[in-house]
Structure 1
């Protein structure tokens, strides 16, 4: 066995096994997988009511700019090789753009949504019809308040289920029965992060051990311990990353589409071998949403 030597703190030579490298290990090679998404053009987008801390009806909203930002988001997915399906926007439903809140699809089974706010309640039926009209046979509508992928995050092995502000805790058991996957409940405690998908997202759902990113302060102490146990290698977001809804991101296992302001998070992801794709979603953020809120994944 060959050895090399370096100088120690006292200038004495220290023998090193030649197999030991002083170079930091390279980031893992990340492999993207093609995805299929459902989105809704924000034709009628505005902020005329407040159902979360981000919404202020007194502030002006530029619908044309929101449409342009959404279009760039859709085009980004398509440039990355993903398929984007569209549902028709409906007048008087300005938040219908947030498709992620309207359904959870795993293995071709669909669990629809039941919104907490009366303003958004009609969206659920339009999305249910879309699924039926597009050949989905297992479409189940919940009896409990359930804001779909807003609070139900599929990791590839378990379904993380948020509660605290929107989704009823009893909806977690209903999701397990409807989708046939194990569910782990997580308690949200900061009203700014009213949905699980603005506090946590999945980076890699195809690995033997899923990888996620999250903001610990959005969760109760017990839920933080659960996350630490489940995901010891998680990417931990800063307060600044969370505050621009940087965790409302979409990953295909390699490319991560996230708000342009989440610069520290983007740097962390690059260090882990991911390719951050920043997008400007600032106008749509006035309603408390980002890339993920606009994107329902169709896992057929």
Structure 2
């Protein structure tokens, strides 16, 4: 166990969130969404605010994009784009219900001074299906993102892409079935992937934490890690224990209202990996 617990270091990060002011479940585009089920929007707002405060309390910067009426899923900013080295690849959503988010987030990035900014040419749902592990982009595809988007992703960021096919409709984005913990270590649900992708993960990450169905069903894998702290749903207590055994510090949060739309902590944040140099965008007081 000692080999797993040496050198855990928290690294300050920058995240984008969007308040769930217009959060509802009026349509169904994943198995978690039940339009007839009541949604408590003020509770969702309170839970999202608590998540923001936790992240800031851990030393991370959090910026806020303005929510738009008619786009209830904007709260899930992980799907907005992928941002690496200051380059922004804006999502192109598979479902028409979320298509309007692309223009809203593209405008936010352009106004904030990010360059370059491009909208993906094929279905590509941002960091929901793109997780950076070291220098490699783990790219999920199947329910939402199209595998045909991978060459554009790899070329745009100049990084190798590892394609991973999701086969369980409950885990429709990669970040619902896999979390990157420190760049060299991940945790994931084996049953969410096809056999070929599972073998690839086991080859690349032999020391990974393999979660079970109980962990995944409460969105325990939809976690935010800074290399030491791991923010995850409070209901994922068993998974939290396994993380602690590996030398991580679990940080439980309550996001049950957002789970009604198939969302957890990681769904609500997009990491803003800025590039080097003085042109790097700074915080926007008007949106904080």
The bucket for the TM-score relative to the shorter chain is: over 0.9
Q: Does 1:154 align with 2:146?
A: no
Q: Does 1:283 align with 2:261?
A: no
Q: Within 5 A, what are the aligned runs for 1:15-34?
A: 25=2, 27-34=5-12
Unmatched segments (≥5 aa) in structure 1 = 1-23
The SS at the match of 1:283 is helix
Distance 2:143 2:46 in 1: 30
Match of 1:65 among 35, 43, 50: 43
Q: Deviations over 1:88-124 (max 9, x none)?
A: 0000100000000011001111111000010100001
**Distance apart, 1:156 and its partner CA:** 2.1
**Distance apart, 1:244 and its partner CA:** 0.6
Q: Deviations over 1:22-57 (max 9, x none)?
A: xx6473241100000000000000100000000000
Q: Rg: which structure is higher?
A: 1
* Matched residue count: 273
Distance 1:280 1:43 in 2: 18
Q: Deviations over 1:66-92 (max 9, x none)?
A: 000000000000000000011000001
Q: Does 1:178 align with 2:163?
A: no
**Distance apart, 1:276 and its partner CA:** 0.2
Q: Which residue of 1 aligns with 2:79?
A: 101
Q: Deviations over 1:233-261 (max 9, x none)?
A: 00111110001111000000000000011
Q: Which residue of 2 aligns with 1:243?
A: 217
The answer as to whether partners of 1:238 and 1:264 remain within 8 angstroms in 2 is no
Q: Does 1:215 align with 2:170?
A: no
Residues 25 and 113 (structure 1), Cα distance of their counterparts in 2 relative to 1, 3 Å cut:
closer
What TM-score comes out, normalization by structure 2 length? 0.93
Unmatched segments (≥5 aa) in structure 2 = 275-288
What TM-score comes out, normalization by structure 1 length? 0.90
Q: Which has the higher helix share?
A: 2
The answer as to whether partners of 1:281 and 1:290 remain within 8 angstroms in 2 is yes
Distance 2:110 2:170 in 1: 34
> Stretches of 4+ moved more than 4 A in 1?
none
Q: Within 5 A, what are the aligned runs for 1:116-195?
A: 116-195=94-173
Q: Which residue of 1 aligns with 2:283?
A: none
**Distance apart, 1:179 and its partner CA:** 1.2
